[in-house]
Amino acid sequence: MTVEYPKPLPQLTDDNGPYLEGLRERELRLQRCGACGRYRYPPARFCPHCLSEEASWEVASGRGTLYSFIVVHQLYHPGFRDDIPYNVAIVELDEGPRITSNVVGCENRDLKIGMRLVAEYFDATPEATILKFRPA
């Protein structure tokens, strides 16, 4: 069997189907609570703020700010061998939640906390699209 994408792929959970489907359609979809109005991530059945089960899926702006980042030199997963050194970023979305991802289109040395970012969609396999960010 040929391993076409050597890195971990997003895992389908009980709650994140619409999120992953949104990425395939190049949209960042977030759950928004029907009771308190707050966006939440990761996807979950109950709102962690008010515990309401009422929620809708909304298309988020895809815009955010770099909250923190690291540059990984150690090989932890063989799929990342050719990427070292690569960055991992925590991105604070304008809607509030934060997502762990990577920043593309920017040298690691130019990463700055507070820089504006915009979502980028990367098709890892025909079934799986991965969310990344690039400088806005």
Partner 1 sequence: MLDINGKYCIVGVGNTEYGRTPGRNAVTLTVEAIRNAIEDCGIDKGEIDAVLTKYPTSNFQGLFSARVAQALGVVPRVTATLDQAGASNISLIAYAIMCMEAGLCNVATISYGDNPNTSGRPSYGRRPAAEAARGPTYGGDEAVAGMTGAPCGYAMIAQRYRYEYGLTDEQLGTIATTFRRHASLNPNAQFQQPFTMEEYLSSRWVAEPFRLYDCCPVSDGAAAVIVTSVERARGLKKKPVSVMSFAQAHPAWDLAQREVLTTSGAAISGPTAFRLAGISVEDVDFAELYDCFTIVPIVTLEDYGFCKKGEGPDFIGGGRIGLEGSLPLNTSGGLLSETGMPGMQLIVEAVRQLRGEAGPRQVKDPEICVVSNQGGVMTTHATLVLRN
Interacting residue ranges for partner 1, rule: CB under 8 A? 1, 3, 5-12, 41-42, 67-74, 76-80, 83, 85-86, 88-90, 97-102, 113-114, 125, 130
Which structure tokens are listed for 75?
């090989």
Distance CA 56, CA 131 (A): 20
Is 52 or 125 the residue whose CB approaches partner 1 more closely? 125
Beta-strand relationship, 98-101 and 39-40: unpaired
Site for Zn ion in 47-86 (CB under 5 A): 47, 49-50, 52
Kindly state whether residue 36 participates in binding Zn ion, applying the rule CB under 5 A.
yes
36 binds, options partner 1, Zn ion, none, Cβ within 5 to 8 A by partner type = Zn ion
Q: What is the DSSP letter of 108?
A: G
39 binds, options Zn ion, partner 1, none, Cβ within 5 to 8 A by partner type = none
**Closest by CA position to 60, among listed 41, 77, 47, 75:** 41
